[in-house]
Amino acid sequence: MSTVARQTFAYVDLGAIQANYRAVSSYISRGGVDPLVISVVKANGYGHGAVAVARVLEAAGAKMLACADIEEGIELRREGVTVPILVFGALSVSDLDGIFTHCLTPTVSSPGAARALRDAATRRGTCVACHLKIDTGMNRLGFRFDNLWQTIPEVVLGPGLKIAAAYTHFATADDREHPLFDLQRSRFSEALGRLEEFGIRPGLRHAANSAALLRDQSTWYDGVRPGLLLYGLIPSGCPRSLSLVPALTLRSRVVAVKGMRPGETAGYGAHFPVTRPTTVAVVPAGYADGLDVRLAGRGSVLVRGRLAPIVGAVSMDSMTIDVTGLGVIPGDEVVLVGAQGGNRIGVEDVAAAIGTVPYEIFCRTGSRIIRRYGQGMGRVGADGG
């Protein structure tokens, strides 16, 4: 089989991910305490490639990873990742085998999950260590903070289940104005007190996602759970107190250049007629590669070091950019995310252009896009990855 070499590809700087991990680790180890960094690699490592990301994090000294479901955890184990892997997701309707056969650390977020897990452990004649999730206001997964006296007795009943940790998750950590953040913090403290009344004193308490970690040291407890920071992004509205390196670059190449006359349109729907003689370039990247259709008329790319607006329509496999006056020729490199010639388009810029969060842009990096891995932002070799 010949090597597939599409023009559009993602370059993932694994050195950046390691550097970001180290930056977070040293940031939170100030002042003698040394909270555990639980590195979040869910959703295919925020689109960067979970296996590659997990491996370099492990090599950089990561002591625990976290993923969304059992299937993600199994994939990492099959690829040789050995550090503890926390599974965030609900277990009540899952096949629990993978927890045991691949030594994953489950989250228990309901009495039903506790029951299922304990039964499964007892059948195997073993005991499983889990993290207990407390819902302090997100109203997603977790035991409600205000009726633990009702739900926890069932969890602590009998052998088979060991509560190694307790955690919660913030809904508004990136919003300085929102009162829910402080409320969640105090509810979590109360819940920890309540757990103690049931004889549960987890050695590991954790709460902070990236935004909380940057915003408030009192959320660090015994561990933090950064995701976004590891990939080189500071959540919007957070203090930029860490120096991070963006790990993802999305590149392509111009495959055609042509002229358009005033009044003509490009692409499906024939929207946005041009008002002057215009040169457009065709870039072989479309919504099947994860590019949002709303980028047409809103987003830009870099070519010849300059910003070129995305015009016409974003189609399944291609899009058109306005390169009037830039002297662009087929073969020119196009940067969809990343730096070129002193200019830079961040994932946060793409997100802002279409009114979404950078997380979504990361995760959308399409399955058709080949990820090439390297260390540092140097040029990628022709046969990379």
Ligand X SMILES: *Cc1c(COP(=O)(O)O)cnc(C)c1O
Residues with a known catalytic role = 42, 268
With respect to ligand X, which residue has the nearer C-beta, 210 or 318?
A: 210
Q: Does 221 bind ligand X (CB under 6 A)?
A: no
| Length of the chain in terms of residues written | 385
Stretch that binds ligand X, among 14-22, 206-214, 310-318, 343-351 (CB under 6 A): 206-214
Please report whether residue 35 would count as binding ligand X according to CB under 6 A: no
Instruction: Decide if residue 210 touches ligand X (CB under 6 A).
Output: yes
Residue nearest to ligand X (CB): 227
**Minimum distance of ligand X from residue 58's CB (angstroms):** 18
Choosing from 39, 44, 105, 209, the residue that interacts with ligand X (CB under 6 A) is 209
| Site pattern 75..94 for ligand X (x: CB under 6 A) | -------------x------
- Distance in Å, CB of 42 to ligand X, minimum: 6
Q: Which stretch binds ligand X (CB under 6 A): 26-34, 222-230, 281-289, 345-353?
A: 222-230
Interaction of residue 228 with ligand X, rule CB under 6 A: yes
Query: Is residue 347 near ligand X by the rule CB under 6 A?
Result: no
Task: Please state the closest distance from residue 372 (CB atom) to ligand X, in A.
Answer: 23
Q: Does 57 bind ligand X (CB under 6 A)?
A: no
- 169 part of the interface to ligand X, by CB under 6 A: yes
Name the minimum Å distance from CB 361 to ligand X: 13
Q: Catalog residues that contact ligand X under the rule CB under 6 A.
A: 40, 42, 88, 169, 209-211, 225-228
